[in-house]
């Protein structure tokens, strides 16, 4: 297999870190993947023709996404390896899993798509798992599952309760948990918590084998039977005293402004009883801790927050109950990542020939979307770290020269927070005192401007001095 000559002597870029070890059957394919990630990552919102520098590069991009030898799992595998290196030093990581749909109805020529929630819409379902630190910094995409629904059988499946879990889409939660367990085997010092929303309230998920150091945290929807005098889950929790009150920052959603909600907190150790309709399976009962946080006095016209959580991680104090609530609040991070994937990377605007091409594109843009979110949140978690955590040498030097209007950059890089604020400024962030920290939208706009600046800086910077070879 021929090596790519363009890779020799190059400084390591983020794309090389996340994709450089991809096993695609030919080293030249891996080199193309790295170049494509750099190109599309520099202009994540642009269409393929606009992002690519010329027709040859565009043709190579289409050819790559059409290559049947390239598996989406192989594209994500090196990123998962790089993520393990980021994950291993962390004492606690939340592995948040969630499903979104990608709607390609407006691309009727794309073949191989399936029905979404009705047969008039076509697209893909995507279930992803992202790893987050306690500071909500995303470490990477831990796992991803993609599937379609057959429009011919939509709504005609046998009774949901009678089908085994392996034949249901609910299997996605167990598959994700197995990926978390595999990651835990690589990171024995890290406590990993698999976090899911109400759709994850599946009894089989609690029965799935887990080693020590891997726990579950699920927002409950089922009013399950329990081994307690009250007989049922939330009646038993309601009988517990209020352990504490919690102030929770609720982000802006739709047209509703951000606010702070005050919730009462109750918790109880309980044992879930197996579902009655599965009595013939003789399933074991499951010990869990239930935590309920309810907003007693919401603003007028606002539905109160009411979080009902089940966890396998012990809860013995009010502080531990607060921690479980904070763990679940991390779920908002994956919703933000979905927003970046759809709005920042314009994944639903990608016009490719068939679903297989789109899946390869999705794998690549999933990592690009992670990097955009990572940049935004990392600068808040470690603001004083050097910006070289995120930017390559030419990038931060081009940024400094542009912002400070100087031809020669300083010897030392700026802090991460300063660099992110400058990038956001390129994207239209005013940076006034009342504006707070920049968000991901202005950051992805700014990164596109930075890509152009970096190209120009690389062209205009003086060449390095010639090497002097000493005489022996």
The residues of the chain that CATH labels 3.90.350.10 are 72-344
For tokens 């190579």, what's the residue?
60
DSSP-derived 3-state class of residue 140: strand
pLDDT-based confidence at residue 3 (cuts at 50, 70, 90): very low
Candidates 3.30.70.1400, 3.40.50.300, 3.40.50.620, 1.10.740.10; CATH matching 382-460 = 1.10.740.10
Question: What's the CA gap between 312 and 310, in Å, rounded?
Answer: 7
Complete DSSP assignment for 262-311? EEEEEEEEEEEPPPGGGGGGTPPPEEEEEEEEEESSPPTT-PPPEEEEEE
Torsion of CA 16, 330, 174, 205, to 10 degrees: 160
CA distances from 356 to 35, 72, 86, 230, 409 (A): 21, 9, 30, 51, 45
Highest mean pLDDT among 274-278, 388-392, 432-436, 447-451: 274-278
Q: What percent of the chain has pLDDT above 90?
A: 64
Q: Cα(244)–Cα(372) distance, rounded to whole angstroms?
A: 37
d(CA 435, CA 154): 47
* pLDDT tens-place string over residues 381-405: 889 989 988 888 888 999 999 999 9
- At 110-147, the pLDDT tens digits run 999 999 988 899 999 999 999 999 989 999 999 999 99
Query: Could you give the residue range(s) of every CATH 1.10.740.10 domain in the chain?
Result: 382-460
User: What are 153-183's pLDDT values in tens digits?
Assistant: 777 666 556 677 877 899 999 999 999 999 9
First to last CA, the chain: 39
Q: How confident is the model at residue 8 (pLDDT cuts 50, 70, 90)?
A: very low
Question: What band does 33 get if pLDDT is binned at 50, 70 and 90?
Answer: very high
Model pLDDT, residue 160? 59
Does residue 230 surpass a pLDDT of 60?
Answer: yes
CATH for 72-344 (3.10.310.10, 3.40.50.1980, 3.30.450.20, 3.90.350.10): 3.90.350.10
Query: How remote is the C-alpha of 113 from its chain's centroid?
Result: 23
For the chain, give percent helix, strand, coil, nearest 5.
45, 20, 40
C-alpha distances in Å from residue 175, one per residue of 163, 169, 178, 189, 204: 17, 10, 5, 22, 11
Phi and psi at residue 310, in whole multiples of 5°? -120, 135
pTM: 0.86
Host H or E run for residue 141 = strand 138-147
CA-CA-CA-CA dihedral for 193, 199, 203, 206, to nearest 10: 0
Q: Is the pLDDT of residue 236 over 80?
A: yes
**Averaged pLDDT score across all residues of the chain:** 89
Which residues, in sequence order, are bridge partners of residue 144?
Answer: 128
Report yes or no: 115 and 151 within 8 Å, Cβ to Cβ: yes
Give the pLDDT score at 349: 94
């Amino acid at each position: 297999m021929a090596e790519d000559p363009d890779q020799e002597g190059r400084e390591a870029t983020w794309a090389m870190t996340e994709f450089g070890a991809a096993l695609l059957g030919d080293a030249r394919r891996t080199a193309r993947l790295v170049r494509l990630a750099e190109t599309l990552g520099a202009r994540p919102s642009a269409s393929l023709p606009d992002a690519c520098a010329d027709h040859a590069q565009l043709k190579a991009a289409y050819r790559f996404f059409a290559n049947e030898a390239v598996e989406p799992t192989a594209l994500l595998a090196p990123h998962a390896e790089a993520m393990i290196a980021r994950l291993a030093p962390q004492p606690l990581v939340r592995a948040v899993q969630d499903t979104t749909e990608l709607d390609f109805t407006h691309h009727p020529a794309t073949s191989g798509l399936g029905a979404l929630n009705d047969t008039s819409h076509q697209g893909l379902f995507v279930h992803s798992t992202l790893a987050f630190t306690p500071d909500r910094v995303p470490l990477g995409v831990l796992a991803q599952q993609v599937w379609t629904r057959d429009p011919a059988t939509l709504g005609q499946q046998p009774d949901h309760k009678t089908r085994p879990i392996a034949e249901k889409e609910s299997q996605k939660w167990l598959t994700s948990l197995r990926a978390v367990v595999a990651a835990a085997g690589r990171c024995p010092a890290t406590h990993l918590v698999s976090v899911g929303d109400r759709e994850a309230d599946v009894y089989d998920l609690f029965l799935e084998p887990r080693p020590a150091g891997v726990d579950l945290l699920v927002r409950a929807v089922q009013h399950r039977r329990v081994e307690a005098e009250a007989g049922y889950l939330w009646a038993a929790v309601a009988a517990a005293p209020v352990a504490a009150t919690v102030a929770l920052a609720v982000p802006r959603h739709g047209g509703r402004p951000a606010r702070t909600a005050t919730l009462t907190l109750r918790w109880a150790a309980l044992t879930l009883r197996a579902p009655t309709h599965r009595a013939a399976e003789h399933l074991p009962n499951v010990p869990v801790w239930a935590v309920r946080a309810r907003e007693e006095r919401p603003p007028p016209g606002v539905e109160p927050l009411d979080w009902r959580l089940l966890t396998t991680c012990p809860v013995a104090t009010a502080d531990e109950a607060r921690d479980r609530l904070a763990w679940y609040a991390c779920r908002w991070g994956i919703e933000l990542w979905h927003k970046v994937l759809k709005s920042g990377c314009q994944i639903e605007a990608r016009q490719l020939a068939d679903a297989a091409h789109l899946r390869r594109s999705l794998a690549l843009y999933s990592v690009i979307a992670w990097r955009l979110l990572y940049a935004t949140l990392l600068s808040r978690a470690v603001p004083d770290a050097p910006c070289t955590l995120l930017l390559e040498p030419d990038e931060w030097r081009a940024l400094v020269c542009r912002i400070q209007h100087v031809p020669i950059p300083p010897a030392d890089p700026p802090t991460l927070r300063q660099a992110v604020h400058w990038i956001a400024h390129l994207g239209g962030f005013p940076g006034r005192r009342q504006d707070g920290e920049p968000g991901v939208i202005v950051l992805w706009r700014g990164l596109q401007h930075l890509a152009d600046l970096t190209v120009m800086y690389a062209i205009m910077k003086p060449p390095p001095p010639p090497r002097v070879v000493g005489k022996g």
